[in-house]
């Protein structure tokens, strides 16, 4: 699916299979065909079946194609997910190994009702000061040079004295002593992160942050909205088996493709009728929704209502 600022969502690819069967295989197949037709990669979101796939089947292929995945996680996938050279992967992003435990486990604590929603929002925002930052773009093989937040000017660390004294607005890292000595990410200015490391859960945006919420929910709502549009019993009614009275997955796929193409045509036709073409008035007015009340910031356990 794709969304453009000027028109509504249309379907670009379809594969028919058993429910929940081979989502990664079918998804990569569709994305490859779209790319062969000149579609440019961008942010990519799906339900949890996709990011629960094996990295070699989904996460690594889509990143190699240039897509930037945006994920939500199951309750057992939260918190620290991987580690490399001391840097820790927390809910999809790399952070300093000395990031405080309350920030690492913020979402876990929210689900366990050890903290409230307002505290979760603050802790998610506080993670930014501990994020390991890219020094350069990933190379053709997906390897990327990253530097610790102190070297990137986002924090202060006593293990790197030249980063101290930058002001109280930057967090002061408190590294724990270790008989093995500092981690590689603490000793060096940069480390190299391979695409395979933490690939299952890595994502392009900070989980739960404002940009993540904007991109992830826009994409997911687009998908679910189109599903409801195409299932309309007064139009294509793709959910009704009686509209495709023929056996066999090949025949069902062809008939479903025609139904979805008709749904796309309805969407495009409705959009064109709202445009003023050739100096004429639009055939129909654009749909103006009622202004909705602000629901407050999103959290994994519901929206945080704004203060009265």
The per-residue pLDDT for range 47-86, each reduced to its tens digit, is 999 999 999 999 999 999 999 999 999 999 999 999 999 9
Long-range contacts, stretch 232-240, CB < 8 angstroms, 24+ apart: 235/262, 235/263, 235/266, 236/260, 236/262, 236/263, 238/263
Q: Calculate the alpha carbon distances from 209 to 40, 119, 214 in Å.
A: 25, 14, 9
103 sits in which H/E element: helix 101-104
User: Is the model's pLDDT at 5 over the cut of 50?
Assistant: no
Under the banding of pLDDT at 50, 70 and 90, the label for residue 307 is: low
User: Is the model's pLDDT at 284 over the cut of 90?
Assistant: no
Four-CA torsion 286, 43, 82, 110, nearest 10 degrees: -10
Supply the pLDDT for residue 3: 37
Supply the pLDDT for residue 290: 64
Average confidence (pLDDT) over 288-296: 66
pTM of the entire predicted model? 0.89
Under the banding of pLDDT at 50, 70 and 90, the label for residue 244 is: confident
Under the banding of pLDDT at 50, 70 and 90, the label for residue 181 is: confident
Under the banding of pLDDT at 50, 70 and 90, the label for residue 190 is: very high
User: Is the model's pLDDT at 30 over the cut of 80?
Assistant: yes
User: Is the model's pLDDT at 280 over the cut of 80?
Assistant: no
Give the dihedral sign, CA 244/249/251/254: positive
Average confidence (pLDDT) over 2-8: 48
User: Is the model's pLDDT at 294 over the cut of 90?
Assistant: no
Domain boundaries, the chain: 1-71+203-266, 73-198
Classified as helix, coil or strand, 193 is strand
Q: Calculate the alpha carbon distances from 49 to 53, 224, 290 in Å.
A: 7, 15, 34
Supply the pLDDT for residue 216: 96
What is the C-alpha separation between 132 and 2, in angstroms, rounded? Answer: 31
* More confident of the two residues 275 and 224: 224
Average confidence (pLDDT) over 235-254: 88
DSSP lists the bridge partners of residue 88 as 83, 95
What is the C-alpha separation between 170 and 45, in angstroms, rounded? Answer: 32
């Amino acid at each position: 699916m794709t969304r453009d600022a000027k028109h509504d969502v249309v379907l670009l690819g379809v594969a028919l299979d058993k429910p929940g069967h081979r989502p990664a295989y079918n998804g990569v197949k569709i994305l490859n065909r779209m790319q062969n037709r000149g579609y440019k990669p961008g942010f990519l979101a799906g339900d949890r079946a996709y990011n629960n796939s094996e990295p070699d089947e989904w996460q690594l292929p889509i990143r190699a194609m240039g897509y930037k995945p945006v994920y939500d996680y199951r309750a057992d996938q939260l918190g620290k997910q991987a580690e490399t050279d001391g840097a820790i992967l927390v809910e999809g992003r790399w952070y300093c190994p000395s990031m405080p435990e309350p920030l690492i486990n913020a979402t876990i604590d929210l689900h366990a009702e050890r903290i409230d929603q307002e505290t979760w929002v603050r802790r998610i925002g506080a993670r930014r000061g501990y994020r390991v930052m890219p020094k350069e773009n990933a190379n053709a093989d997906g390897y990327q040079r990253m530097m610790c937040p102190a070297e990137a000017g986002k924090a202060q660390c006593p293990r790197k004295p030249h980063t101290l004294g930058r002001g109280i607005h930057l967090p002061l890292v408190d590294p724990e002593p270790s008989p093995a000595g500092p981690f590689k990410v603490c000793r060096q200015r940069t480390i190299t992160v391979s695409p395979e490391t933490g690939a299952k859960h890595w994502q392009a945006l900070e989980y739960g942050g404002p940009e993540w919420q904007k991109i992830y929910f826009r994409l997911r709502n687009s998908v679910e909205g189109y599903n409801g549009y195409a299932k309309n019993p007064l139009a294509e009614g793709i959910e009704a088996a009686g509209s495709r009275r023929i056996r066999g997955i090949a025949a069902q796929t062809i008939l479903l493709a025609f139904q979805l193409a008709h749904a796309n045509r309805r969407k495009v036709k409705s959009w064109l009728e709202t445009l003023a073409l050739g100096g004429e008035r639009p055939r129909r007015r654009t749909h103006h929704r009622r202004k909705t009340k602000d629901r407050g910031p999103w959290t994994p356990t519901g929206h945080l209502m704004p203060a009265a």
